[in-house]
């Protein structure tokens, strides 16, 4: 039990130094020291700090004064010994050439790496280069990020001779910030990745990489640089596609993409009023059966165009962001030929809004499915179907304030339909509401 408590007392994001939690615990008394040293998981996380853009020189000088290279390497050596054969989690934060000796020591333990993150292209290049000589049988998550491109033109040309695929048999999660520079797809085993996150990629790289992803994989694409020439038609077996953008548009790769196995589509700040037709064409061309749609914008009527697409007939879960989205949902449900309502089981509503609109939604759903009953709460009367969550006719209406953990709220819906909504009274009423049975109401946490 004490060992379990220790694991919760260690901050896995704390930079490598003798004041970190695992070192403090080991200095309390002899018993605690013995227990801490006997827990390899306490010593399995390595964070190597680097300068930040703000006060960079001051932070770097303070770090170097407190942890000289020799001392840092001694700390690293001790932690590696105490971690023994357990899986290692490693993060480099913009180290540059300062990490040469450290990275060399860690490569000797490459069979134990489980997660690795690099924020500097110098470290990325060394990792890719050494990948052909080291083995990473446990490495499941790889994150390559930083304030500048991962590979410059010379590095990219040389990296084509590397062979890292064979040394990464367990890799499942890849996240990269490409800074609109080319990255040779053959460097990583995309065909075995279950999750892929690409930030600022070139259009050609997006199409090349997602075409290699396996069946039902998830791809998150952020800020794609449009190509200069027409892209080649591409087919992908991905099951989830998330589109993010700080600039509206730049999702033109959908014009040539076909994803017949797509089940989940997320549109987050990557959509504009003239893109509805593009989304419709993409879904129609893919011939997919969409089950989960999430929309994280809500300022224009194009949402209605999305909600009324024929491909919405299979949507089981609808995740909305704002009051505006809900209004267009009401309009979509009100249409005689609406294909959205019959299959809908879960509605996640992420913004504070007028409860009258939520009641209108429930009213329309009741009109389409008469098997509902009333559940009074205060001055509101919530309508719920008789059947349970996820079964025919059952709807789970979930209303979330921004910042509330969705997983916690949805866990309450396993025994029946649940409405999770906000009230401004004291949250001590929560326990009483949860005793009301399978149909429960829950306050938000403030």
Lowest mean pLDDT among 116-125, 179-188, 339-348: 339-348
Lowest mean pLDDT among 45-49, 277-281, 410-414: 410-414
What whole-number distance in Å separates Cα of residue 394 and Cα of residue 273?
33
Q: What are 291's two structure tokens? A: 């089950």
Residue 281's DSSP bridge partners are none
* Residue 66 pLDDT: 57
Nearest CA among 16, 70, 7 for reference residue 42: 7
* Residue 197 pLDDT: 95
What whole-number distance in Å separates Cα of residue 47 and Cα of residue 72?
12
* Residue 69 pLDDT: 55
> Do the bridges between strand 419-420 and strand 441-442 make them parallel or antiparallel, or are there none, so unpaired?
parallel
* Residue 411 pLDDT: 39
* Residue 133 pLDDT: 72
> Do the bridges between strand 346-349 and strand 396-399 make them parallel or antiparallel, or are there none, so unpaired?
parallel
What whole-number distance in Å separates Cα of residue 294 and Cα of residue 266?
5
- 342 versus 55: the higher-pLDDT residue is 342
- Model confidence at 221, in pLDDT bands (50, 70, 90)? very high
Phi and psi based region of residue 228 (left: phi greater than 0; alpha: psi -120 to 50; beta: remaining) = alpha
- 412 versus 368: the higher-pLDDT residue is 368
Helix (H) / strand (E) element for 354: namely none
- Model confidence at 50, in pLDDT bands (50, 70, 90)? low
What whole-number distance in Å separates Cα of residue 254 and Cα of residue 207?
10
Q: Is the pLDDT of residue 174 over 90?
A: yes
What whole-number distance in Å separates Cα of residue 323 and Cα of residue 422?
14
Q: Is the pLDDT of residue 274 over 60?
A: no
Q: Is the pLDDT of residue 223 over 80?
A: yes
Q: Long-range contacts of range 412-415, CB-CB < 8 Å, 24 or more positions apart? A: 412/440, 412/442, 413/346, 413/389, 414/389, 415/388, 415/389
Cβ proximity of 330 and 360 under 8 Å: yes
Q: Is the pLDDT of residue 94 over 80?
A: no
Nearest CA among 308, 385, 392 for reference residue 343: 392
- Model confidence at 393, in pLDDT bands (50, 70, 90)? very low
The pLDDT mean for the chain works out to: 70
Question: 56 by DSSP, 3-state: which?
Answer: helix
State the DSSP code for 66. Answer: H
What whole-number distance in Å separates Cα of residue 249 and Cα of residue 269?
9
* Residue 218 pLDDT: 96
What whole-number distance in Å separates Cα of residue 358 and Cα of residue 380?
10
Helix 30-37 and helix 2-9, axial crossing angle in degrees, nearest 10? 80
Q: Is the pLDDT of residue 112 over 60?
A: yes
Phi, psi of 402 (to 5 degrees): -55, 130
Cβ proximity of 239 and 261 under 8 Å: yes
| Cβ neighbours around 165 below 10 Å, total | 17
pTM for the structure as a whole: 0.74
Percent of the chain with pLDDT strictly greater than 90: 17
Q: What is the pLDDT of residues 203-213, one digit of tens each?
A: 889 999 999 99
* Residue 147 pLDDT: 63
* Residue 62 pLDDT: 61
- 111 versus 334: the higher-pLDDT residue is 111
Phi, psi of 277 (to 5 degrees): -60, -35
- Model confidence at 333, in pLDDT bands (50, 70, 90)? confident
Question: 421 by DSSP, 3-state: which?
Answer: coil
Q: What is the pLDDT of residues 131-150, one digit of tens each?
A: 667 788 999 999 988 666 66
- 323 versus 246: the higher-pLDDT residue is 323
- Model confidence at 414, in pLDDT bands (50, 70, 90)? very low
Q: What is the pLDDT of residues 232-253, one digit of tens each?
A: 899 999 999 998 875 444 567 8
Q: Is the pLDDT of residue 443 over 60?
A: no
* Residue 239 pLDDT: 97
Q: What are 24's two structure tokens? A: 């403090």
- 154 versus 135: the higher-pLDDT residue is 135
Cβ proximity of 345 and 328 under 8 Å: no
Percent of the chain with pLDDT strictly greater than 70: 57
- Model confidence at 79, in pLDDT bands (50, 70, 90)? confident
Cβ proximity of 396 and 389 under 8 Å: yes
Q: What are 425's two structure tokens? A: 């009274």
* Residue 300 pLDDT: 58
- Report the sign of the C-alpha dihedral through residues 374, 375, 380, 382, in that order: negative
Q: What is the pLDDT of residues 352-386, one digit of tens each?
A: 555 566 666 666 666 655 544 443 333 333 333 33
Q: What are 162's two structure tokens? A: 């590397």
* Residue 43 pLDDT: 87
Question: 186 by DSSP, 3-state: which?
Answer: helix
Cβ proximity of 237 and 215 under 8 Å: yes
CA distances from 50 to 15, 53, 99 (A): 9, 10, 10
Phi, psi of 202 (to 5 degrees): -75, 150
What whole-number distance in Å separates Cα of residue 85 and Cα of residue 446?
43
Nearest CA among 285, 295, 170 for reference residue 234: 285
Mean of pLDDT values over 248-272: 77
Mean of pLDDT values over 396-414: 42
Cβ proximity of 178 and 155 under 8 Å: no
Q: Is the pLDDT of residue 193 over 80?
A: yes
Question: 127 by DSSP, 3-state: which?
Answer: helix
């Amino acid at each position: 039990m004490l060992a379990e408590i220790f694991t919760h007392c260690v901050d896995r994001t704390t930079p490598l130094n003798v004041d970190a939690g695992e070192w403090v615990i080991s200095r309390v008394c002899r018993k605690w020291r013995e227990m801490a040293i006997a827990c390899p998981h306490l010593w399995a996380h390595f964070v190597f700090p680097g300068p930040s853009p703000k006060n960079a020189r001051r932070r770097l000088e303070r770090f170097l004064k407190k942890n000289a290279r020799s001392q840092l390497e001694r700390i690293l050596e001790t932690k590696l010994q105490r971690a023994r054969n357990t899986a290692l989690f490693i993060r480099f934060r913009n180290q540059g050439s300062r990490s040469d000796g450290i990275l060399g020591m860690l490569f000797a333990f490459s069979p134990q790496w489980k997660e690795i993150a690099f924020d500097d292209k110098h470290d990325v290049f060394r990792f890719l280069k050494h990948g052909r000589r080291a083995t990473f049988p446990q490495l499941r998550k790889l994150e390559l990020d930083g304030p500048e491109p991962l590979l410059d033109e010379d590095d990219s040309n040389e990296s084509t001779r590397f062979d890292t695929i064979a040394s990464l048999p367990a890799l499942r999660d890849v996240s990269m910030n490409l800074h609109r520079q080319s990255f040779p797809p053959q460097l990583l085993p995309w065909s075995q990745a279950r999750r892929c996150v690409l930030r600022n990629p070139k259009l050609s790289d997006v199409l090349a990489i997602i075409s290699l992803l396996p069946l039902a994989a998830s791809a998150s694409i952020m800020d794609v640089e449009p190509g200069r020439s027409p892209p080649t038609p591409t087919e992908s077996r991905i099951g989830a596609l998330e589109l993010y953008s700080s600039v509206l548009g730049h999702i033109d790769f959908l014009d040539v993409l076909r994803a017949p196995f797509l089940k989940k589509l997320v549109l987050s700040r990557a959509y504009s009023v003239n893109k509805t037709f593009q989304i419709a064409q993409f879904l129609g061309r893919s011939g997919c059966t969409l089950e989960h749609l999430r929309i994280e914008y809500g300022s224009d009527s194009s949402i209605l165009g999305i909600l009324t697409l024929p491909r919405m007939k299979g949507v089981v879960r609808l995740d909305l962001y704002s009051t505006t989205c809900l209004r267009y949902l009401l309009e979509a449900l009100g249409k005689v030929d609406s294909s959205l309502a019959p299959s809908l089981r879960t509605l996640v509503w992420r913004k504070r809004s007028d409860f009258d609109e939520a009641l209108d939604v429930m009213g329309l759903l009741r009109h389409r499915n008469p098997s509902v009953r009333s559940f009074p709460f205060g001055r509101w009367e919530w309508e719920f179907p008789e059947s349970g969550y996820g079964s025919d006719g059952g709807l789970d209406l979930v209303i979330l304030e921004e910042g509330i953990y969705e997983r916690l709220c949805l866990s309450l819906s396993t025994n029946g339909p649940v409405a999770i909504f906000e009230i401004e009274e004291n949250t001590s009423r929560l326990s009483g509401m949860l005793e009301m049975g399978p149909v429960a109401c829950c306050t938000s946490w403030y």
